[in-house]
Amino acid sequence: MGIRPLGLTLFEAPTFGVSGFDSSPVFPSQQWLDCHPHTGELTAEVKRICETAPPVWSDIWVTNHILQAIIGATLVIVFWLFVSHKPKVVPTKRQWVGEWLYNMIRNGVARDMIGDGYQKFVPWLVAMFTFIIVNNLFGSFFIFMFPTFSKVGFVWGFAIITWILYNAVGIKKWGVLQYFKRMTVPEGVPGPILLMVAPLELISNFFMRPITLALRLFANLFAGHLLVMIFVVGGTYLLTEVKNNLFYNVAGGVTVLFSFAIFALELLVAYLQAYIFVVLTAQYVASAQAETH
């Protein structure tokens, strides 16, 4: 077994543009360096060793994208500590920013969608929203230039937590059997039709929710970053590699300039996808504890 979780075959050299989504170790082991030469040329013996060598744990778990997620979490913690430090009756500007963001999720999402008992869910929804939006914005700013949630593993983690959360809420309120019945047997559905509806409800509420929740966030961030990369790499190629062709050079310049418009669109997508993820999480919690379906 090799180091394939990193996104490359063990004897394949990283390629500009093509490997733009691959993770790389922050502190690469000698094995990783030996199996990922910049030339991509390895002897048959080295290839055999690379394909059969067990992976080094640090090459998989201490990567640039995991470090990026840790930086995102640190920024979120620092932000909330900063805006909530020594609160005043008449809020300062930094306090106002924190209160506005907090109230947007508290009142506009948790209170309006969950209803009674919404307060206990507010800290998680606020933390999740700010963490997602910070990591989404990484894709539009220098140094990072990569949205963390375009790596699907991070998205699956949040989707699984949401799945556990709303099912735990429902089981706590109704009990296992009653909750399962409420989520699979809609009220007022005739018996013959119920034979078709119940399996669909089962699949929808227990399987499709986390899948669609994850894929929605992942696909938007992945597609947006891929689109930016295509415009930048393609435009750069037309400008630098195609010599003495005015049409191609002009097209390359326009393509690179247009990529800035895509960057601006990504700022909107970063906010919308974070907000949608939180709204759907609140909706699932509300449906799990609702009196009627």
The per-residue pLDDT for 13 is 47
Per-residue pLDDT at 161: 95
Residues 70-126 have pLDDT tens digits of 999 999 999 999 999 888 888 899 999 999 999 999 999 999 999 888 999 999 999
Q: Looking at residue 17, what is its pLDDT? A: 45
What is residue 33's predicted lDDT score, i.e. its pLDDT? 80
Taking 60 as the threshold, does the pLDDT of residue 3 lie above it? Answer: no
Query: Lowest mean pLDDT: which of 12-26, 162-176, 279-293?
Result: 12-26
User: Which of 288, 292, 283, 286 shows the shortest CA–CA distance to 168?
Assistant: 288
Q: For residue 214, what pLDDT band results from cuts at 50, 70 and 90? A: very high
Distance CA 78, CA 124 (A): 16
| pLDDT over 50 at 291, yes or no | yes
pLDDT in tens, 166-182: 999 999 999 999 999 88
pLDDT-based confidence at 208, cuts 50/70/90?
Answer: very high
The pLDDT of residue 38 is: 62
Tell me, what's the pLDDT at 173? 92
Cα–Cα distance for residue pair 130/78, rounded to 1 Å: 12
What pLDDT, on a 0 to 100 scale, did the predictor assign at position 18?
A: 46
* pLDDT at position 12: 52
Examine the pLDDT at 237 and tell me if it is beyond 70.
yes
- With a cut of 50, say whether residue 10 has pLDDT above it: no
Share of the chain above pLDDT 90, in %: 45
